[in-house]
Amino acid sequence: MIKLKVNDIDIDIEEGLTVLQACEKAGVEIPRFCYHEKLSIAGNCRMCLVEIEKSPKPIASCAMPATEGMNIKTNTSMVEKARKGVMEFLLANHPLDCPVCDQGGECDLQDQSMFYGIDKSRYKENKRYVPEKHMGPLIKTQMTRCIHCTRCIRFATEVAGIDELGAIGRGEDMQITTYLEKSMESELSANVIDLCPVGALTSKPYVYEARPWELKKTETVDVMDAVGSNIRVDTYGWEVKRILPRINEDINEEWISDKTRYACDGLLNQRLDTPYIKEKNVFKKTSWENAYKIILDRIYSTSPNEIAGLTGDLTSMETLFSIKEFFSKIIKSPNLDSRSNYIYLNNSSRKNYLFNSTINGIEESDLILLIGTNPRYEATILNSRIRKKYLKSKTEIYSVGDMGDLTYPYKSINNSTNTIKEIIEKKNELSSKILHAKKPIIIIGQSALSIKSGAYIFENIKKYLEENNKITREWNPINILSNSASTVGSYDLDIISSNFSKNKVLDGLKNHDFKILFLFGNDDVVFKKKDEFIIYIGTHGDKGAELSDVILPSAAYTEQNGYYTNLEGKLQKAYKSSYPPGDAKEDWMIINDLSKKIKRKELFNNRDELENNLFTYLKTKKKQNSSIDFSILDFVDEKIKYNEIDYYYSNVIARASKTMTQCRNEKIKIKKNGTEG
Amino acid sequence: MSIKKISKTQPDKFEFSSQNLEIAKKIISNYPKGKQQSAVMALLYLAQRQNKNWIPLVAMKYIARLLNMSYIKVYEVATFYTMYNLSPVGKFFIQVCTTTPCMIRGAYRLVDACKKKISNKQNELSKNNICSWTEVECLGACVNAPMVQINDDYFEDLDKTDIEKIIEQILSGESPKPGSYKGRTCAEPKNNRKTLVNLKNA
């Protein structure tokens, strides 16, 4: 701890902080442009000048280490004058186009010039003009406004791990650009828009859409992947205009992926806003009453065993719970599953399907092994944590199979189940490395769990770690990387028709055992339709709706309150920021209505009852017997085939989004032409 | 100074000649392991030497791959330093110093001569594609101002007629004589030295 003074107030701070951080600890605000907590220090905007006793000149506080006995002053006339001077220089070349600038109203330069600047300009000279740069379909550039803080460059090289942004030229003619104006090839690229303190980099899909003060802001969570990034949804009337990150140091820090940010325009397209029935292969609009009636007739004439249900990847916990209650109490059918493939799941303990080391835990680990997973596309934010860890301490990272560019270097090892066998039989060099590592992380992806040896891989790695005392109370190295927002929630609510790699619902679908199939927002199931009667309850007209005979429109994640459990098992609530379009209803209400029609009894009297019942279920869940007969686990010598996910098209909302389509096309274009511009 | 323009016509291929590759390897080996990227400036200069005094994009990429760094990083360096030419220059490349001492001593008369004799704009080839000129910042020969640098040689103490003569010689294929055009040795006074007269090599 060191002692110093800020504006004559004594404070104690830990060593290694900068003067700016010390001032913040003392509660003194320092204006800044280039400094950002999560990025390296550049010290080039000079806005953070402060006076330090015994120093003849003002000092850039962001780049100055705080030392014992410093006497920092931020309220003197010298500091005030320095700030005014810096501000005047920054504005010398900055166009005064605030009225047509999208950053207006939330612009650091605007705010700080009001606060610290002078009210007139002394320059008569012409301002510099910089041509616009192409940076892809997400980022709109207006480089004349750039003040050369280089935050975007530092973000791209440090956090995103793509060395594509740079500053060319020098001095006044410095320009920020990508190499020969290619689009940025990163899933985190749009974060530079938030980082830009001026209007140089703004959001292309949101261009001239709204002013910040016109928008209603709702703090909620994201469902595009299983990470559960914290977001703020900005709405104008019904429309979701944009999505911004919210700081949560345990999950997404300050960043969100491009899909999280820009798939929101998919909430406006392809929406189901009224019930439909299929007549002679053509969908016709109908009323809720009529749709319910058709469903009822079918259900009454079908035995419960012939009714099945599949839940989807964006479904909230409340919906999942009401579906579960609906199936067990109203329909009385056991055929309900949340998995649309034969993925291995040992439901006996929560630890078997969670990311146990937690996302924060990644920063403590000293060895990372990826099995059948590409975190860059499956969980972009989590991948950026792995990169952060790598940059901090050059952690050794291994991947079973070559996963392409993960934004950090890793050693690719032989892509075969035999490798796993070798590791657990201590025949591989990795075996001892895992045992010697203090906090190893083994990330098992969905691809590895859905192959024939999935059970063998998971259970044996677990056994190996248990036998060698690597699973302790403080640290569990086994991490399952779930791909969708509802996966962990569904497992918590036991929405599975059979344990392990079996899946009674999918088997039944294959054999055409079912007469009625409920798809609750599920668009991923692949099966040949024969004469099943399919009821789709969802938000978008996609694959699932196409298959169905009756469509009941429901609400998307921004249109109803709902809990989501992220891959670490953190329960988070998504709040309603908009309302369902047209005649669409909230999910649980549809299910409640159906129950009322079938049994003349509502499942829940109101939302509170639903929530209470949900939490009671989660709390009183019984632990199941977890003994596993290891001898029956299949071992097949096979490749751990990686099922590539189509990043920009991974769920219904993304598929309906124009922006995501543009991003996908851009990526395909780059793939075709190679990265050599 | 405005941002340097990248030539629209670019060669498809660039590789160091075997001789230059040896030199490059030697330069790279000067830096500790993992810090090879420090060699980028020297290698860019080497590439410029090899490729008729300018650096094409392929050469930047070639160097980026050689040093295991990203394209944009090499591009940043190449655009930052004014001595790297990013578009073709003439076989005789005239750099006219226009920083204060030269300017006071009439550097703009040299610029006017270049405009008249070579091309109206900087960095444009002359009609017979043999010569181009550009304005540069201080070349460190202020005592002999005004001056120009043509390829590797300094031409000092120039006036309008001198530079016109030099340009004419160049355009007709001759190599003009470098050094002072007022007949002095190095930066000595015009009419012999006044101090250290006994020391021959001083």
pLDDT digits (tens, 9 = 90+) for A352-365: 999 999 999 999 99
User: CB of B61 within 8 Å of any CB in chain A?
Assistant: yes
A166 vs B contacts (CB less than 8 Å): 72-73, 75-76
CB contact under 8 A, B80 and A164: no
3-state SS, chain B, equals CCCCCCCCCCCCCCCCCHHHHHHHHHHHHCCCCCCHHHHHHHHHHHHHHHCCCCCCHHHHHHHHHHHCCCHHHHHHHHHHCCCCCCCCCCCEEEEEECCHHHHHCCHHHHHHHHHHHCCCCCCCCCCCCCEEEEEECCCCCHHHCCCEEECCEEEECCCHHHHHHHHHHHHCCCCCCCEECCCCCCCCCCCCCCCCCCCCCC
Q: Are A173 and B2 in contact (CB under 8 A)?
A: yes
Which ipTM was obtained for this model?
Answer: 0.85
Contact residues, chain B, for A180 at CB < 8 Å? 57
For A120-132, how does the pLDDT look when each residue is reduced to its tens digit (9 = 90+)?
889 888 999 999 9
Outline which parts of chain B fall under CATH 3.40.30.10. 92-180
> Looking at the partner chain, which of B2, B72, B80 has a beta carbon nearest the beta carbon of A163?
B72
The answer, for B71 touching chain A at a CB cutoff of 8 Å, is yes
pLDDT for A277 = 94
pLDDT of B3 strictly over 80: no
Mutate to test the interface with B, among A179, A182, A405 (most CBs of B within 10 A): A179
Any A CB within 8 A of B2 CB: yes
Average pLDDT over every residue of A502-516: 90
Question: From the CB of residue A401, how many other CB atoms can be counted at a distance below 10 Å?
Answer: 22
pLDDT in tens, A229-270: 999 999 999 999 999 999 999 999 999 999 999 999 999 999
Q: Is there a cis peptide before residue A245, judged by omega within 30 degrees of 0?
A: no
Residue of A nearest to B4 (CA): A169
Q: What is the mean pLDDT of residues A566-572?
A: 93
Among the residue ranges A71-75, A431-435, A637-641, B97-101, the one predicted with the least confidence is A637-641
What is the number of other CB atoms lying within 10 angstroms of the CB of residue B125? 17
Residues of chain B contacting A164 with CB distance shorter than 8 Å = 70, 72
Cα→Cα distances B140→B48, B97, B99, B102, B104, Å: 22, 9, 10, 10, 15
Give span(s): CATH 1.10.10.1590, chain B. 18-80
Q: Which residue of A has its CA nearest to B62?
A: A676
> Could you tell me what percent of chain A has a pLDDT over 70?
98
* Chain B: closest CA distance from residue A62 (Å): 25
A178 to chain B, closest Cα gap in Å: 7
- Residues of chain A whose beta carbon is less than 8 angstroms from a beta carbon of chain B are 163-171, 173, 175, 178-180, 676-677
Q: How far is A132 from chain B (nearest CA, A)?
A: 14
Measure A17 CA to nearest chain B CA, in Å: 28
Q: Which residue of B has its CA nearest to A129?
A: B2
Please judge whether A168 and B69 are an interchain contact, meaning their C-beta atoms are less than 8 angstroms apart: no
Q: Do B72 and A171 touch (CB under 8 A)?
A: no
Contacts of B72 in chain A (CB under 8 A): 163-166, 178-179
Among all residues of chain B, which has the CA nearest to that of A182?
B72
Tell me phi and psi for residue A73, to 5 degrees: -125, 130
Show residues of chain A in contact with B57, CB under 8 Å: 180
Confidence tier at B184 by pLDDT (50, 70, 90): confident
| A165–B72 CB contact, under 8 Å | yes
Q: What tokens were used for A103?
A: 């950053």
Contact B3 A169 (CB under 8 A): yes
Q: Which residues of A touch B73 (CB under 8 A)?
A: 163, 166
Q: Are B56 and B11 in contact (CB under 8 A)?
A: yes
B187 and chain A in contact, CB less than 8 A: no
User: What is the residue-averaged pLDDT of chain A?
Assistant: 91
Do residue A168 and residue B61 have CB atoms under 8 angstroms apart? Answer: no
Instruction: Find the CB nearest B3 among A166, A168, A180.
Output: A168
The CATH code of domain B18-80 reads 1.10.10.1590
Of A163, A171, A175, the CB nearest to B73: A163
The answer to whether B80 contacts A180, with C-beta atoms less than 8 Å apart, is no
Q: Does B73 touch chain A (CB under 8 A)?
A: yes
Q: Which residue of A has its CA nearest to B71?
A: A179
Residue A676 has pLDDT above 60, yes or no: no
Q: Does B68 touch chain A (CB under 8 A)?
A: no
Statement: residue A613 has pLDDT above 50: yes
What band does A566 get if pLDDT is binned at 50, 70 and 90? Answer: very high
Assess B83–A contact: CB distance below 8 Å, yes or no.
Answer: no
Domain with residues B92-180, CATH architecture:
3-Layer(aba) Sandwich (3.40)
From A389, A436, A427, A383, select the one nearest A407 (Cα to Cα): A383
Across the range A88-117, mean pLDDT stands at 93
- The DSSP call for residue A182 is P
- B3 inside 8 A of chain A by CB: yes
Which pTM was predicted? 0.91
Q: What is the mean pLDDT of residues A417-435?
A: 89
Q: Identify the pLDDT of residue B2.
A: 62
* Option in A164, A170, A173 nearest B72 (CB): A164
Query: pLDDT tens across A510-562, in order?
Result: 999 999 999 999 998 888 888 889 999 999 999 889 989 999 999 999 999 99
- The per-residue pLDDT for B186 is 83
C-alpha A69/C-alpha B109 separation (Å) is: 59
- Per-residue pLDDT of A14-42, as tens digits, reads 999 999 999 999 999 999 999 999 999 99
By the 8 A CB rule, do A244 and A232 touch?
yes
CB-nearest to A173 from B2, B57, B73 is B2
Chain A positions touching B3 (Cβ under 8 A) are 168-169, 173, 175
Closest CA to B74 of B98, B29, B41: B41
B80/A169 CB distance under 8 A: yes
- Distance of alpha carbon A524 from alpha carbon B53, whole angstroms: 59
> Which residue in A464, A362, A371 sits closest to A413, CA to CA?
A371
Residue of chain A with shortest Cα separation from B61 = A676
pLDDT of residue A672 exceeding 90: no
Comparing CB atoms, the residue among A168, A676, A677 nearest residue B79 is: A168
CB contact under 8 A, A676 and B61: yes
- pLDDT for B80-136, tens place per residue? 998 899 988 888 999 999 999 999 999 999 999 999 999 998 888 888 888 999 999
pLDDT digits (tens, 9 = 90+) for B5-22: 788 889 999 999 999 999
Instruction: Name the helix (H) or strand (E) containing A202.
Output: strand A201-203
Q: Which residue type, as a one-letter code, is found at position A417?
A: T
Residue in A with minimal Cα distance to B75 = A168
Nearest CA in chain B to A181: B72
| Cα B173 from Cα B168, distance rounded (Å) | 9
Q: Does B58 contact chain A (CB < 8 Å)?
A: no
Whether pLDDT at B202 is above 80 = no
Residue A677 banded pLDDT, cuts 50, 70, 90: very low
Question: Residue A674 pLDDT > 80, yes or no?
Answer: no
Residue A134 predicted with pLDDT over 60: yes
Chain A interface includes B69 (CB < 8 A): yes
Lowest-confidence region among A561-565, B58-62, B188-192: B188-192
Instruction: Give the C-alpha separation, B110 to B120, whole Å.
Output: 13
Residues 6+ positions from A608 with CB-CB distance below 8 Å: none
Read off the pLDDT of each residue in A616-622 and give the average, rounded to a whole number.
Answer: 86
pLDDT at A216 over 80: yes
How many pairs of residues across A and B have Cβ atoms under 8 Å apart?
Answer: 37
Chain B hits for A173, Cβ within 8 Å: 1-3
